[in-house]
Amino acid sequence: MSDRPGADNADDLPVDDEHRRPAGVSDATVEAVGKVTEALEWVERVRGHLYEAHQMSGHADLLFGEAADMLSDAGHDGLAADMWREVVGANTFPGRWTFQLVEEFDDGYYTTVKDFEKRTREELLDGRRHVMESEMKERRRTDGRTGHEARPS
């Protein structure tokens, strides 16, 4: 029993709540599945950064093309021609464009991790998501206080 407000609020949730731990599941299991989900969330961030790198490098390539045209317009044809030949359209990574890296990540590691996280939840928590986080929120919120509701009404 805790002196903190909301420490026992999870007992007020209906048994079929989509974020409530299934009957008989241990704290250790909830924590382990929560750690798998946390790892997936970090992989999601990696994925976002890969898309960001893809879009940023593509934008930079377009800007280099515009810069080459501007250099040519300013009378620097040799430098502009070199930029078009050496920089514009160059692979960011040897033999690949960034969209190919994104596709390889999505089709390989990302899919494997996402599928494994889902399998772990299905086998151990009846497929329920964010059980650990839900329990943490229940421990931290103040029951009955506006802005601390357990679920949307």
> Are 88 and 61 spatial neighbours (Cβ–Cβ below 8 Å)?
yes
Query: Dihedral of CA 18/22/28/29: which sign?
Result: negative
pLDDT in tens, 54-101: 999 999 999 999 999 999 999 999 999 999 999 999 999 999 999 999
Stated pTM of the model: 0.80
pLDDT of 141 over the 70 cut? yes
If we measure between CA atoms, which residue out of 38, 26, 53 comes closest to residue 125? Answer: 26
